[in-house]
């Protein structure tokens, strides 16, 4: 059994969309074939670059903070406990009103090469 700890094992990095990510489970640690799990964060006022993924279905689960989520032109306020389904091909962007922390699950696993911008 391989267990990875967010604080101990997941080094932060900036993704192509501009958020800070710490990958918990991915294609490398331990190798996952069907999905990936990461924690993302944005500072108050921070926003991701509007983008889509051609292949990956993504789920955001808000842990802390509030934000405006935009999905294919529709916006909604989101906060702790909210889960957001982002289908493949759906343009999306999230803007933090206060420091934001969320989990991101991608299936298949997240890859920079599957992130497309307008």
Rounded to two decimals, the pTM is 0.92
Longest distance between any two alpha carbons in the chain, whole Å: 42
pLDDT at 94: 98
Write out the chain's pLDDT in tens, 118 residues.
Answer: 889 999 999 999 998 888 899 999 988 887 888 999 999 999 999 999 999 999 999 999 999 999 999 999 999 999 999 999 999 999 999 999 999 999 999 999 998 899 999 8
Q: Structural domains in the chain?
A: 16-117 (2.60.120.10)
pLDDT at residue 118, as a whole number:
80
CA–CA separation, 16 and 39 (whole Å): 15
Collect all residues with Cβ–Cβ distance below 8 Å to 49 and sequence separation of at least 6: 16, 17, 18, 93, 117
How far is 65 from 100, CA to CA, in rounded Å? 4
Predicted confidence at residue 15, as pLDDT, reads 85
Q: CA-CA distances (angstroms) from residue 114 to 16, 17, 69, 75, 117?
A: 10, 11, 20, 23, 10
């Amino acid at each position: 059994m391989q267990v990875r700890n967010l604080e101990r094992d997941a080094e932060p990095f900036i993704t192509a969309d501009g958020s800070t990510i710490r990958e918990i489970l991915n294609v490398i640690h331990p190798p996952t074939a069907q999905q990936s799990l990461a924690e993302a964060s944005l500072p108050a006022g921070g926003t991701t670059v509007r983008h889509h993924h051609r292949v990956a279905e993504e789920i955001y689960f808000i842990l802390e903070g509030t934000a405006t989520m935009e999905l294919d032109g529709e916006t909604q306020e989101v906060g702790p406990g909210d889960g957001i389904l982002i289908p493949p091909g759906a343009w999306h962007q999230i803007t933090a009103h206060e420091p934001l922390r969320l989990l991101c699950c991608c299936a298949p696993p997240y890859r920079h090469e599957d992130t497309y911008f307008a």
